[in-house]
Amino acid sequence: MTTISASDLKQNTMRLQDALRDDLLVTKRDKPFVVVMDYEKYIKLQSYIDAVEREALKDDGYPSITFDEACDRVAEAVDEYRSGKMKTVSMDEMRANLRAKKQQ
């Protein structure tokens, strides 16, 4: 990726053609401002992003809960833990239990 300042680009707009060969990072006050890229590359990138987003939105088979319901469940678990009703186990004990289940 080629980097150019916004002021340099303003003075030499022909540098925009460089974006056909390599993406162009335009900076403003030495900070990234905008990226200029070939249109075909942009279309491919956007198609990939769309596909990834569609995949992420697929139903995973697990039921969904609301944020409020999640907060309620956490609050209930905290109350149960504080009251001493919740059984806790060490990581070593949990690992041993998992190993035993795998061997069955």
Return the sign of the alpha-carbon dihedral for residues 34, 38, 41, 47: positive
pTM of the model: 0.50
Q: Which residues of the chain have pLDDT under 70?
A: none
* Residue 59: strand, helix, or coil: coil
Confidence (pLDDT) at 31: 95
Confidence (pLDDT) at 88: 84
Domain borders along the chain are 2-56
Residues whose CB is less than 8 angstroms from the CB of residue 19 and which lie 6 or more positions away in sequence, other chains included:
36, 37, 38
Radius of gyration of the chain (CA): 27
> Is CATH 3.40.1620.10 the right assignment for the domain spanning 2-56?
yes
